[in-house]
Structure formats: C-alpha cells, structure tokens
Chain A
Amino acid sequence: MNPLTLNHYLLASGLLFSIGFAGVLLRRNIITIFMCLELMLNAANLSLVAFSRYHVGADGLPNYNAQVLVFFIIAVAAAEVAVGLAIIVALYRARQTTHVEDLVSLKF
C-alpha cells in the first residue's frame, strides 16, 4: 500500500469540510446547523495538524505553532458553543421553534 502523504489528510479534511458546509446550507434545524459548523471547524483543525506533522524542523520535532493554533481554535469554539446555545435557548423561549424558516425577523 502506498505511504500516506500530506494530500491524503488534506483530502480527508476537505471532504469533512464539504459535508459540514452542505449541512449548513441544507438543514433547517438551527441546532443541526450549529453542529455542522463544529464539523467545519474540526476539518480545519485536521489540516492544521497534518501541516504541523509535515514540517519537521531541524530539531526533529513537528512544528508546534500549528498545534497551538488548534488549541486556540478549540478554546474559542468552546466559548462560541456556549454563547450560541444560550442564544438558541433565548430564541426558543421567545418563539417556541428552532426551525430557521420560522425565524425571519431580527426584532420581536
């Protein structure tokens, strides 16, 4: 079997991103859309980690800058999920729905 290359991981990451992207565009439940956003964030993380492993420096270690960036992405995504879900709960209290086609006005 051929050895793994960077392109294998980039392709896997791109496919995962496409799946999340299609989900955001096609689904109508706001919570599912939010989960698909998480899928897209993680696809970006996968390509970052693959690039990190590909760039072995002079000291024989992977490039850890990319892994620190992944760490930040995970931290910010966790904060984003907390705020987003709070907004969804507030929206549900006001409107009793999570269907995006029922939520068409900004102010109510």
Chain B
Amino acid sequence: MSPILFWLFTALMLAFGTSVVLNRDPVASALSLVASFLCLSALFVGLDAFFIGVIQILVYAGAVMVLFLFIIMLLDLKAEQRRQFNRLSLAGGGAVAVGFMFELLHVLNSFSIGKNPFPPLGVARLDDVRQVGITLFTQFNLPFQTVGVLVLVASVGVIVLSRRELK
C-alpha cells in the first residue's frame, strides 16, 4: 500500500472514530462509525486481506450498523442533554486512555521487529478467498461449527429477550 493512502485512510479512520465519541446525537455517532469502518476496510485491502475487507463492509458497515441505526430510531433517541459531568470520572477516564496511549508508544518504541518494512509476497496473484477458505475448513473446522452453534444460541436468546414480557 502506498504510504500516502495509508496516512489518508488512517487519518480519516481516527477522525471519524473521534467523532463517534464526541457526537452528542446517536445517529451522527452511528454514521461516523460506518465511515470509520469503511476507512478501516480500505486499510485491510491495503494489507492484501481482500476477503476481510469485503466482509468488514458487508457485515459491519452493512448488517451491524443497520441494526444499530434501527434500534436508535426504534427507541427514538434524541441528542443527549448536557448534564453535569462527574469531574472525577472524566479526569479518570481521560487519564486511563492517555496513559494507555503512552504505554503503547513506549512498547512500540522498543519493538524492534516492527521496524522492518513488510516483506514482499512470493506470488504474482493472491487467491485470498481460497486461502482463507482452506485454512478455515481444514485447520479450524471445529471452531467454525462452534461459531454456528453460537449464532443459533444468540438468535434464540434475542427472541426470548424481545418477547413482550419477560417471565
């Protein structure tokens, strides 16, 4: 991936991510999250992970975010009222996040393996979907079936949770 595209998409992704946190209106937050996921999938494509990039758009920007917007509109949420912030929790939350960032910079600074550029691929054309499929169905078949059961359990759970009255 050309460095210009990397910086462009990273900057956009982080900017939209910040806008998710800072927006008071949940609909604007959700739409910023969609934009952030689109930039993230561009980064995936830049890393030669085409399949992951496509399902990022289909599943996240498509299905999951539609679900979010649907719930926001179903509950008819308005923009949050300005409330008195608990100053202690505000300072604590900010300090933990900033501390995490500095920790990360420190770790990355001493992570010498990560300072090498990416090695070139040894193939002319990458058959990405096929390789993911082979790995998924040969090495990770049991976890794959288990995820199927998990999705079934989740959908039954959602139906139980959204019945008119719980009891």
Interface set of A (CB-CB < 8 Å, partner B): 1-12, 14-23, 25-29, 31-32, 34-36, 38-39, 42, 45-46, 49-50, 52-54, 56, 59-62, 64-65, 67-68, 70-72, 74-83, 85-90, 92, 98-99, 101
Contacts and interface: CB of A to CB of B under 8 A. Distances in A.
> Do most interface residues of chain B lie in helix, strand or loop, or is the interface mixed?
helix
Contacts of B67: 81-82, 85
B4 A1 contact: yes
A11 B108 contact: yes
Contact of B49 (A12, A15, A52): A52
Nearest to B143: A72
A86 B158 contact: yes
A7 B111 contact: yes
Contacts, number: 233
Contact of B63 (A34, A60, A78, A83): A78
Given A5-B115, A10-B108, A22 B77 contact: no
Nearest to A1: B3
B6 A4 contact: yes
A64 B51 CA distance: 11
Interface string B152-167: 0011011001100010
Interface of B: 1, 3-4, 6, 10, 13-14, 17-18, 20-21, 26, 29-30, 33, 36-37, 40, 43-44, 47-49, 51-52, 55-56, 59-60, 63-64, 67-68, 71-72, 74-75, 77, 80, 83, 89-90, 92-94, 96-98, 100-101, 104-105, 108, 111, 113-123, 126, 131-132, 134-136, 139-140, 143-144, 147, 150-151, 154-155, 157-158, 161-162, 166
> Do most interface residues of chain A lie in helix, strand or loop, or is the interface mixed?
helix
Contacts of B120: 56
A78 B116 contact: no
